[in-house]
């Protein structure tokens, strides 16, 4: 049994992807990556503040980690493509997480524009991981467009509300044959364990770790939950029944 | 000569190389990406690229996060496209 996560031809031992945002200080990131065991981390692009010379985020990201630049800020396919090209030119490699969002309240992804951006970037040799709603037709179109994985949301970005789309995720797991990485909304380790038990291939966690009072311990908790959920999926869950089924013999010696 | 760097007006006495500008701004060229008048400049051209009067220069870096950080820090984005 191959227990590696394989995306774009590369294999990973960890099924936990981490984000790099929302930490009070980037210096905590090495400890987060160690505690989580994560091998893939998302990053973003930003204009340099010429009046404030902080250390670069890149100084804190361990060299072995795969960078996954996102296209946050893109409101249509053209903008997402531009950001992806800039990220590649900056030395981030050819992986990109496509986020096309024009809804400012719920930050829900635009499926149509996401498909367009994915097709362009996949044809340019990018390994494209699009952030999507849990919609089967969108996911199928992304597979045809050349996506290397799909990243359905559990609930709105940064909400920590958990898995509100579990039935849609179950359908994707059943029907889509590229890796399914559950993205936004996972709020606690049990949420991650739930989708991993269902057969999701990986989870991307940022806010739930970064907003914990003890992010390092929370990173470890997510690592363990994702591992537990994956093992449960591989083991196979027992059958559910509507009535009790005794675990111990009821026909004992007391009643002859 | 005058330049616009990340939205700020900068003045220099003479023509200036892109690598010199980056040095004067105290930035590490390995950790930034530069766009001059809408064109991404490859790092190996920094030392030979001479900036022109009134050039618009955007200097970007890799940072943490996604949408929440974007909203707080990237008000300039629409100006760039």
Contact call for residues A13 and B58 (beta carbons, < 8 A): no
| H helix runs in chain A, sequence order | 29-36, 77-87, 111-123, 136-145, 166-175, 189-198, 207-210, 215-235
Q: Out of A4, A55, A97, A105, which one is annotated catalytic? A: A97
Which uninterrupted H or E stretch holds A152? strand A151-152
Residue B75 has pLDDT above 50, yes or no: no
| Contact yes or no for B63 and A82 at CB 8 A | no
Percent of chain A past pLDDT 70, that is, above it, reads 96
- Active-site annotation holds for A97: yes
Contacts of A125 (CB under 8 A, 6+ apart): A94
Q: CA-CA distance, A201 to A25, in Å (whole number)?
A: 30
What pLDDT score was predicted for residue B1?
86
Tokens of A229: 């959920």
Of A221 and B81, the structure prediction assigns the larger pLDDT to A221
Percent of chain A past pLDDT 90, that is, above it, reads 63
A53 to chain B, any CB pair closer than 8 A? The answer is: yes
DSSP structure class, residue A92: I
Of A18 and A23, the structure prediction assigns the larger pLDDT to A18
Q: Which of chain A's residues have a Cβ under 8 Å away from the Cβ of B60?
A: 45-48, 86, 90
How much is the average pLDDT of B42-59?
A: 91
What pLDDT score was predicted for residue A190?
97
- For the stretch A47-59, pLDDT in tens is 888 877 667 787 7
Closest to A96 (Cα-Cα) out of A82, A111, A75, A110:
A82
Q: CA-CA distance, B13 to B2, in Å (whole number)?
A: 9
| Contact yes or no for A57 and B59 at CB 8 A | no
What pLDDT score was predicted for residue A53?
66
Tokens of A51: 């009046």
Tokens of A18: 């981490």
Residue A201 has pLDDT above 60, yes or no: yes
Tokens of A87: 């990220």
Residue A193 has pLDDT above 90, yes or no: yes
- The confidence band for A3, taking pLDDT boundaries of 50, 70 and 90, is confident
Of A136 and B76, the structure prediction assigns the larger pLDDT to A136
Contact call for residues A21 and A209 (beta carbons, < 8 A): no
The answer to whether the complex's ipTM is over 0.85 is no
B40 to chain A, any CB pair closer than 8 A? The answer is: yes
- For the stretch A78-128, pLDDT in tens is 999 988 998 888 778 899 999 998 887 888 899 999 999 999 999 999 999
| Contact yes or no for A86 and B74 at CB 8 A | no
Please state whether the predicted TM-score (pTM) of the whole model is above 0.95. no
Contact call for residues A11 and A197 (beta carbons, < 8 A): no
Tokens of A37: 């065991």
Among all residues of chain B, which has the CA nearest to that of A210? B65
A14-52 burial, b at 16+ Cβ within 10 Å, e below that, comes to bbbbbbbbbbeebebbeebbebbbbbbbbbbbbbbeeee
B61 phi/psi in degrees, rounded to 5: -145, 160
- For the stretch B20-35, pLDDT in tens is 999 988 888 888 889 9
DSSP structure class, residue B55: -
DSSP structure class, residue A9: T
Residue A64 has pLDDT above 80, yes or no: yes
Q: CA-CA distance, A128 to A148, in Å (whole number)?
A: 6
Q: What angle do CA A210, A14, A60 make, to 5 degrees?
A: 45
């Amino acid at each position: 049994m191959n227990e590696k996560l394989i995306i774009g031809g590369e294999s990973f031992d960890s099924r936990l992807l981490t984000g790099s945002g929302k930490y009070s200080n980037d210096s905590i990131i090495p400890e987060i990556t160690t505690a989580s065991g994560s091998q893939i981390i998302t990053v973003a692009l930003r204009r340099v503040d010429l009046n404030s010379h902080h250390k670069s985020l890149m100084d804190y990201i361990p060299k072995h980690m795969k960078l996954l630049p996102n296209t946050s800020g893109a409101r249509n396919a053209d903008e997402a493509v531009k950001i992806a090209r800039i990220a590649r030119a900056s030395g981030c490699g050819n992986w990109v997480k496509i986020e096309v969002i024009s809804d400012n309240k719920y930050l829900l992804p635009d499926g149509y524009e996401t498909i367009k951006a994915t097709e362009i970037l996949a044809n340019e040799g990018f390994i494209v991981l699009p952030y999507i709603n849990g919609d089967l037709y969108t996911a199928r179109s992304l597979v045809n467009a050349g996506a290397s994985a799909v990243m359905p949301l559990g609930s709105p970005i940064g909400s920590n509300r958990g898995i509100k789309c579990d039935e849609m995720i179950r359908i994707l797991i059943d029907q889509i044959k590229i890796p399914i990485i559950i993205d936004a909304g996972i709020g606690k380790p049990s949420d991650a364990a739930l989708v991993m038990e269902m057969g999701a291939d990986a989870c991307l966690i940022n806010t739930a770790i970064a907003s914990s009072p003890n992010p390092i311990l929370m990173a470890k908790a997510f690592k363990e939950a994702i591992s537990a959920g994956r093992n449960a999926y591989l083991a196979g869950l027992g059958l559910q029944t509507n009535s009790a089924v005794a675990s111990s013999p009821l026909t004992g010696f007391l009643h002859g | 000569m005058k330049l616009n760097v990340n939205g700020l007006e900068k003045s220099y006495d003479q023509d200036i190389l892109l690598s010199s500008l980056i040095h004067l701004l105290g930035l590490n060229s390995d950790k930034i990406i530069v766009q001059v008048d809408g064109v991404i400049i490859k790092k190996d051209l920094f030392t030979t690229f001479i900036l022109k009067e009134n050039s618009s220069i955007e200097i970007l870096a890799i940072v943490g996060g996604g949408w929440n950080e974007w909203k707080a820090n990237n008000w300039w984005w629409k100006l760039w496209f």
